[in-house]
């Protein structure tokens, strides 16, 4: 009888661990889709909720500088994308492809929209824009924890000035 209880407890623990791993994998795999969906819906609050409070962005450029003193990297990233939505009020984001490995998620995103507001310091041109980014995130507890990536800022600026 004792052996049956041990087997039952062991089987339950293994099933629970498998379910937890499957849920974690599903959460991780859906992050690029949730990222794109929040931006496409222009839901900056849902977008901000994807990031851990201690989020670290390893990508800085002239177009996306390090945060101002007193501003977290999470808030700076959210503000950057809020500016993108303001510059392209019809912004839509899709995931071309994504790859998951352990706690890392890589995704290629496509951004499309019409330049109807000031964006990257350029007044509205009313041009249709299309550009991409490739991003790698580390994920912890279902949230974006770190970011490394490359956005096509030069391509955006070329389209804005064409």
Cβ contact 150:134 at 8 Å: yes
pLDDT exceeds cutoff 80 at 55: yes
N residues, the chain: 162
At residue 31, does pLDDT exceed 50?
yes
The tokens of 7 are what? 């087997």
**Domain assignment of residue 23, yes or no:** no
* Domain annotation covers residue 22: no
On the question of pLDDT at 2 being above 80, the answer is no
Residue 148 lies in a domain: yes
Task: Please state the pTM of the whole predicted model.
Answer: 0.80
**Domain membership flag for residue 5:** no
What is the tally of structural domains in the chain?
A: 1
Q: And the tokens for 71?
A: 């501003």
Taking the C-alpha atoms of residue 46 and residue 3, their distance in angstroms, rounded to an integer, is 49
Is 121 a member of any domain? yes
Taking CA atoms, 65 is separated from 34, 80, 92, in Å, by: 25, 10, 24
Is 139 within a domain? yes
Task: Say which CATH number the domain at 74 has.
Answer: 3.10.450.50
DSSP classification of residue 67: P
CA-nearest of 108, 125, 123, 117 to 90 is 117
pLDDT at 62: 64
Range of the domain at 150: 30-161
Contacts of 130 (CB under 8 A, 6+ apart): 110, 111, 112, 159
Identify whether 12 is part of a domain: no
Q: Which of 88, 96, 62, 57 is nearest to 75 (CA)?
A: 57
């Amino acid at each position: 009888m004792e052996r049956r209880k041990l087997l039952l407890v062991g089987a339950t623990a293994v099933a629970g661990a498998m379910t937890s791993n499957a849920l974690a994998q599903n959460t991780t795999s859906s992050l690029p889709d949730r990222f794109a969906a929040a931006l496409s819906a222009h839901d900056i609050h849902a977008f901000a909720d994807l990031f851990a409070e201690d989020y670290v962005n390893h990508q800085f450029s002239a177009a996306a500088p390090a945060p101002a003193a007193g501003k977290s990297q999470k808030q700076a990233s959210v503000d950057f994308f809020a500016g993108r939505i303001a510059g392209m009020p019809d912004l839509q984001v899709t995931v071309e492809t994504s790859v998951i490995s352990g706690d890392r998620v890589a995704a290629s995103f496509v951004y499309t929209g019409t330049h109807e507001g000031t964006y990257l310091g350029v007044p509205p041109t009313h041009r249709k824009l299309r550009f991409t980014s490739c991003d790698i995130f580390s994920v912890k507890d279902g949230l974006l924890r770190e970011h490394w990536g490359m956005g096509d800022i030069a391509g955006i600026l070329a389209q804005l000035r064409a």
